[in-house]
């Protein structure tokens, strides 16, 4: 990542392999994460927030990353859905229609939060990954913290 004011390198996001393709990275709608496809068939995710001061990592490197094996071919594109609540509310509506009358699962408009990642590989396979809130031990849906 470069600073547009002085064109200085501010941080390197390592992990993704891109030797023969034109694969771009994309920010999440809230700007807290970056996602990128890779020629090694993984999707890479990095946190853009500041690292805790207790970590002994160079300031120009980002070690806060994960990867997900999502495809059987090189991942040519991975992006965050710009309006994830539309997709998540559709899933919640389907869940309400399929839910048994005796279920203890609580529903709320706030449950329709989280990130949705859409990816595609070079074989034409498109996948949608949903990061839904985790359920609590009581069986009730845990609500995400509000910013």
Per-residue pLDDT in tens (0 to 9) along the chain, 147 residues: 778 899 888 777 777 777 777 888 899 988 888 999 999 999 999 888 765 544 445 555 556 788 899 899 999 999 998 887 787 788 778 777 776 544 444 444 444 557 889 999 999 999 999 886 666 554 444 434 444
Closest CA to 136 of 99, 108, 115, 101: 108
Residues β-bridged to residue 26: 35
What does pTM read for this prediction? Answer: 0.66
DSSP state of 111: G
CA distance 115 to 132: 8
Yes or no: say if 22 and 39 are a contact pair by the CB < 8 Å rule: no
């Amino acid at each position: 990542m470069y600073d547009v004011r002085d064109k200085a390198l501010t941080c390197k996001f390592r992990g993704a392999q891109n030797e023969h393709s034109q694969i771009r990275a994309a920010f999440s709608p809230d700007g807290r994460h970056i996602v990128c496809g890779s020629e090694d068939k993984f999707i890479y995710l990095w946190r853009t927030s500041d690292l805790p001061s207790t970590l002994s990592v160079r300031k120009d490197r980002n070690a806060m990353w994960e990867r997900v094996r999502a495809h059987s071919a090189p991942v040519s594109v991975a992006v965050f859905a710009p309006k994830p609540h539309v997709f998540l509310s559709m899933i919640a509506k389907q869940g309400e229609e399929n839910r048994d009358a005796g279920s203890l699962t609580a529903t709320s408009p706030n449950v329709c939060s989280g990130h949705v990642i859409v990816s595609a590989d070079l074989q034409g396979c498109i996948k949608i990954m949903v990061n839904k809130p985790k359920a609590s031990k009581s069986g009730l849906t845990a609500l995400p913290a509000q910013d």
